[in-house]
Amino acid sequence: MSDLQYRPRSITEIIDAAFQLYRQDALRYILITAVAYAPMLVFQLVFLDPTSVSALSALFGLGSYVAGFFSFALMSGSLVRLSSEAYLGRDMEIGAAIREVLPRVPSILGGTLIRILLIGLGAVALIIPGLWLFAYTFAVTPTIVLERADVARALNRSAVLSKNRKLAILGSYALAFLIFYSLAFAFAIVAGIFAGSLLFTLISTIATVVIYPIIGVMEMVLYYDSRIRAEGYDVELMANALGTSTS
């Protein structure tokens, strides 16, 4: 993306920017999502038997959730890191992005657990507090990955970046999730045609791997958009680009 495109964006423009970045290098985003998602898929295919109901199957089911949680943290962080480089006009290999994010996965997991707890408590009280806390903590993962922050600092940064932006943040997520679930529903219809659980799992996985990167890229764009509005980060980026071109 050119430096002239570093500017505050509306909700639809944030989604459009995410799609632009996705289309520029869709295969790379799909690959990095597939690599991160692979542990959970392998666990499901190898260890889980949907026809078996036992303590062992319950244990394997729990293991699947743990693998899925780890996969989600790695996938989200890697998508943010990779798409951030593309947004800033730089290039990064998939392996480099994953290697850089891996040490941050425990922090991403911790931040995600705290987000879930806060949002859950807010939702139990009333729906509106839950949504407010969802927006309040939106930048936790991008801050941990891109600013190398710990969980406490990431929560504080997210609070600052979400100030006076809660409705725009919720609107961006709502539109992104609407697109995601609309496309996922289409995949589910195809998957439902097949009776076999293996084919259903594979098709569902393909849907996630192909579609989910759009949400990960959107989170990155939303993070930078909030920094542009709160900190004038677009001016800093253009100044750095100008200094680089004249040096």
160 has pLDDT over 70: yes
pLDDT band at 208 (very low <50, low <70, confident <90, very high): confident
Average pLDDT across the chain, whole number: 83
**Residue 210: HSE in the Cβ half-sphere, 13 Å Cα cutoff:** 12
Rounded to two decimals, the pTM is 0.84
172 has pLDDT over 80: yes
Q: What is the pLDDT of residue 30?
A: 92
Q: What is the pLDDT of residue 196?
A: 58
pLDDT band at 242 (very low <50, low <70, confident <90, very high): low
Q: What is the pLDDT of residue 82?
A: 94
Q: What is the pLDDT of residue 56?
A: 55
The terminus-to-terminus CA distance of the chain in angstroms comes to 21
